[in-house]
């Protein structure tokens, strides 16, 4: 993850699938990155963070944090 100085960056993405809307929002700050993923019922996904952590998720809202690299 690139180093940032006292600024926040927020990004969003979404995709409409047959089951509903899949969305991902992430905020990058000096302390690290926070990611929120929303999946509709009947879907699954895998979230892979910049530190290599991978997590399989099901329907619902899921929030993850990843510390800034040194």
Tell me whether residue 49 is in a domain.
Answer: yes
What is the rounded distance in angstroms from the CA atom of residue 70 to the CA atom of residue 61? 29
Nearest CA to 20 among 47, 53, 59? 59
Range of the domain at 29: 9-67
Tell me whether residue 2 is in a domain.
Answer: no
pLDDT of residue 41: 97
Number of structural domains, the chain?
A: 1
- The pTM (predicted TM-score) of the whole model is 0.81
What is the rounded distance in angstroms from the CA atom of residue 1 to the CA atom of residue 51? 8
pLDDT of residue 56: 98
Tell me whether residue 46 is in a domain.
Answer: yes
| 3-state secondary structure at position 23 | strand
Tell me whether residue 42 is in a domain.
Answer: yes
Tell me whether residue 3 is in a domain.
Answer: no
Tell me whether residue 1 is in a domain.
Answer: no
pLDDT of residue 64: 97
Q: What is the pLDDT along the chain (70 residues), one digit of tens a residue?
A: 445 455 668 999 999 999 999 999 999 988 899 999 999 999 999 999 988 999 999 999 999 999 877 5
CB-CB contact of 21 with 42 (8 Å) = no
What is the rounded distance in angstroms from the CA atom of residue 69 to the CA atom of residue 59? 30
pLDDT of residue 7: 60
């Amino acid at each position: 993850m690139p180093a940032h100085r006292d600024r926040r960056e927020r990004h969003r993405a979404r995709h409409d699938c047959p089951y509903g809307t899949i969305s991902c929002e992430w905020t990058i700050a000096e302390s690290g990155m926070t990611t929120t993923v929303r999946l509709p019922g009947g879907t699954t996904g895998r979230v892979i963070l910049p530190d290599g952590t991978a997590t399989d998720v099901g329907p619902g809202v899921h929030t993850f944090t990843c510390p800034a690299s040194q």
